[in-house]
Amino acid sequence: MIKLEIGNRAPDFTLQSNTGEKISLSQFLGKKKVVIFFYPMDESPVCSREAEAFKSKYETFKELGAEVLGISSQSVESHKSFSNHYDLPYFLLSDLDNCVRKLYGVSSTLGILPKRVTFVIDKEAIIKCIFSSQLQPAKHAEQALLALKSKN
């Protein structure tokens, strides 16, 4: 599996979103920074806390010129339900075959549960921050904001 690091170019991808739109990383190039958070599963208690943390800080992400994208292997229908349940203002992308997860080197814990990893990507598709924590879901949004506010 590929191991991406800070300073690497983020791989482009195209996935279907909870709204039915196809979303690509490249559509934001030169326009917006992108925060991608890979999460294990819609509606689980920990993932719900993570989604809510990104929602509560979404306006700040927008003010900093960033788009937020959540990615997991659930279906578009599952993402639609999860997004509606929590009134999420950002896209949830369906990576049914885990191709994008693999492309970004996001493995599984004990080979079972997909890891929770967040990437902050600048307008030129360069990775500026990678944060991984399975049990601190709210910290993903906090770390992403710190990275966006950083001058590096």
In a domain, 107, yes or no: yes
Select which of 4, 15, 47, 147 is catalytic: 47
In a domain, 5, yes or no: no
Is the whole model's pTM more than 0.85, yes or no?
yes
DSSP 10: P
In a domain, 4, yes or no: no
Question: Catalytic residue at 129?
Answer: no
In a domain, 94, yes or no: yes
Q: Is the dihedral of CA 51, 55, 56, 58 positive or negative?
A: positive
DSSP 11: P
Give me the number of domains the chain comprises: 1
In a domain, 38, yes or no: yes
Task: Identify the CATH number of the domain in which residue 69 sits.
Answer: 3.40.30.10
Q: 20 is in which domain, residue-wise?
A: 14-149
CA 129 from centroid of its chain's CA atoms: 12
In a domain, 137, yes or no: yes
In a domain, 3, yes or no: no
Question: What integer pLDDT is reported at residue 150 of this predicted model?
Answer: 86
Q: Which residues of the chain have pLDDT under 50?
A: none
CA-CA distance, 69 to 38, in Å (whole number)?
9
In a domain, 8, yes or no: no
Question: What integer pLDDT is reported at residue 117 of this predicted model?
Answer: 95
